[in-house]
Amino acid sequence: MTDWSHLIDLEKCTVSPRVFVDEEVYRDEQERIFGRCWLYLAHESQLPNPGDFVTCYMGEESVLACRTASGKIRVFLNSCRHRGARMCRLDAGNAKAFTCPYHGWTYDNQGRLIGVPQFKEAYYEELNREDWGLIEVPRVESFRGLIFACFDENAQSLDAYLGDMKWYLDLIFNKTEGGMVALPGLHRWNLGGNWKLAAEQFNGDNYHTGAAHESMLKIGLGPANGQFLGDQPWVRDFEAKLDNGHGWINFKIDMAGGVPAPLAQHMERMQAAARQRLTPAQSELVGCVHVGNVFPNFSILTFLGFLTIRVWHPRGPHNMEVYSWSMIEQEAPPEVVEIARKMQILTFSPSGIFEQDDGEMWGNSVKALRGMHRRNFPLNYQMGAGHGRTDPDKPGLIHPPSTEIGIFGVYERWQALMGGA
Amino acid sequence: MMNAADRTRLRHEFEDLLYHEAWLLDNDQLEEWLELFSDTIRYWAPVRGNMEPGREDLSQPHLLAHFDDDKTSLTLRVKRLRTGAAHAEEPRSRIRHFVSNVQILETDGPDRVKVGSNFQVFRSRWEGTEHVFVGCREDWWRRIDTTWKNEERFILLDHNVLENMTVFF
Ligand code: FES
Ligand SMILES: [Fe+2]
């Protein structure tokens, strides 16, 4: 196995462009990162009933997540054992069994092969059906309704993997009794750019907002003070480098145009609810802008009442496919859901006026980094290095925006997984 | 009920109007384009999925969309393109709209008409990133004095996996 650890320089805090553009590096990532890390699949509110299923991806693998009769969620590769045909071509639905469109092998939602056409006439009943069930993803675990799966049987538990990220995820997913629910529908789109560029931005890049989102400031749909920064550095306005390459951005801003009254009232109610459930230090942060990434490629962003959660699926070193869902507190009245939903569509969706500019940047970088000469010169991740602090009130290594302490954590983790061992 | 000749005349009228609209979009006359919409416009493009036949329910509450704009947010989108800092449109993409299959779908008195049309939009971005967006639209137009204003635009994009969308339909 090729040892790629030399592509990250831990002392200098630099990253080789090959991490983002090299085909061989990309191929090894599929095994060593996507084959070993916990990957986000779906939210439990998308498959509430026995028989419900959703199809999605783990890296480049199409998978089928099923809620079985016992209520357990099981995940299988969405590929028939006979000739490999994609079994299920629907996004979601309810089914007890799945019949392969090619020759008609049928599997139940526990992956067992239960039907083989011409079993007697063609197979002389000699096919051992038990051996030919769907390929199961061995580990499936949830945190606050977020379902993750892992190809590595021996991986640490999801709980341990998320580590101190759980404290921050709770600001969103555990602030109310009902938790978060997914709205129907999925934003799915192709983007130029390596998946890590998107992941690292959500992990901890608040530095880009002034330049990349300058147009938002110019039209007055941005912070009242003209900066995506609050006025309580270290306390409420900070970035946190977390376990296992995860990261969190937190800040509070007043919007130039204010916030619609029903949404403002709703956010106040949510903060009051949070005080009953979370620690005082956590409740103080509820209602801020939160942006984060669970290594490798699961990102969240909550802003102006909406929550978008998304996965940056790798599609070769130079492209990705985004799956993005919209969520809101189960307690939100329909009027607030509509305000938040429209705000998300306008800002963070394939047509979103923030999203479009982020999407342009990632493709832009890989296009430039692809050159055989350019790739010899490292990229700089030194911002704030050595200046992070721990804080008794909240986990992680903390620093106010802007810093690249957390972002570089993505590459420290990446290096640990991409070494030759 | 409208007779066939009136219907044809009305269809011609809307063909002219929709071609003019396409010309405005292709020639970056976006402020003038906004004038075609009434102040109560809903400009809406729901997401599509892969569902069992007959199960795609575009009217379900809170369904995600690619656009769900009113006049204020549409105007914001246009203003943003004028800032010189909307990077996904700097430099501006080369865009061409093709409109066809124009039909009068419904009338509601002499001054309200529902018009269907198909579109193809070609976008060439920067050094050669090229995309085609295909779909249909159903518009409710209302005659106010002598001009038609669009009060509702429903856009059905025939895509499941989309691209960064910097264009209007
Ligand atoms: S490939 Fe599925 S039955 Fe043959
Ligand atoms: Fe951004």
Q: How far does B33 lie from chain A, in Å, by closest CA?
A: 18
Residues A243, A363 within the same domain: yes
Residues A175, A96 within the same domain: no
Note the ipTM here.
0.96
A171, two tokens: 């600001």
Q: Tell whether pTM > 0.95.
A: yes
Binary contact (A215, B85; C-beta < 8 A): yes
**Strand B147-157, strand B37-46: pairing:** parallel
Residues A108, A247 within the same domain: no
Specify the CATH number for the domain of residue A68.
2.102.10.10
Reported confidence tier of residue A223, pLDDT bands at 50, 70, 90: confident
Is the Cβ of B59 closer than 8 Å to some Cβ of chain A?
no
Residues A171, A211 within the same domain: yes
What is the H or E stretch that residue A406 is in? helix A405-418
How confident is the model at residue B1, as a pLDDT?
Answer: 65
Instruction: Report chain A residues whose CB lies below 8 A from the CB of B73.
Output: 342, 346
Residues A198, A90 within the same domain: no
Q: Which residues contact B145 (CB under 8 A, 6 or more apart)?
A: none
The neighbourhood of ligand 2, an ion, using CB within 5 A, equals: A 358
Instruction: Tell me the per-residue pLDDT of B95-130, one tens digit each, with 9 for 90 and over.
Output: 999 999 999 999 999 999 999 999 999 999 988 789
- What's the mean pLDDT in A165-170? 98
Q: Is A278 inside any structural domain?
A: yes
- What's the mean pLDDT in A244-248? 98
Residues A228, A351 within the same domain: yes
Residues A135, A170 within the same domain: no
User: A-B interface: how many C-beta pairs under 8 angstroms?
Assistant: 120
Instruction: Tell me the per-residue pLDDT of A362-407, one tens digit each, with 9 for 90 and over.
Output: 999 999 999 999 999 999 999 999 999 999 999 999 999 999 999 9
Residues in B 125-144 with any Cβ partner in A closer than 8 A: 129
Nearest residue in chain A measured CA to CA from B46: A185
- In this predicted structure, the answer to whether residue B51 has a pLDDT above a threshold of 90 is no
Nearest residue in chain A measured CA to CA from B51: A90
Domain-terminating residue out of A83, A110, A142: A142
- In this predicted structure, the answer to whether residue A420 has a pLDDT above a threshold of 80 is no
Residues A100, A177 within the same domain: no
Instruction: Tell me the per-residue pLDDT of A326-369, one tens digit each, with 9 for 90 and over.
Output: 999 999 999 999 999 999 999 999 999 999 999 999 999 999 99
| All structural domains of chain B | 4-48+64-157 (3.10.450.50)
- What's the mean pLDDT in B139-164? 96
Residues A194, A119 within the same domain: no
CB A302 within 8 A of CB A340: no
Instruction: Tell me the per-residue pLDDT of A270-317, one tens digit each, with 9 for 90 and over.
Output: 999 999 999 999 999 999 999 999 999 999 999 989 999 999 999 999
Range of the domain at A180: 163-418
Specify the CATH number for the domain of residue A398.
3.90.380.10
How confident is the model at residue A421, as a pLDDT?
Answer: 61
Domain-terminating residue out of A142, A172, A200: A142
A83 lines ligand 1 (CB under 6 A): yes
Domain-terminating residue out of A142, A171, A191: A142
Q: Which residues contact A363 (CB under 8 A, 6 or more apart)?
A: A191, A192, A193, A318, B129
Residues A167, A314 within the same domain: yes
Which ligand has an atom closest to residue B88 CA? 2
Residues A304, A264 within the same domain: yes
Binary contact (B86, A334; C-beta < 8 A): no
Among A120-124, A214-218, A341-345, B132-136, whose mean pLDDT is lowest? Answer: A214-218
Q: What DSSP character marks residue A255?
A: B
Query: Number of structural domains, chain A?
Result: 2
Ligand 1 centre distance from Cα of residue A43 (Å)? 30
Residues A168, A240 within the same domain: yes
CB B136 within 8 A of CB B117: yes
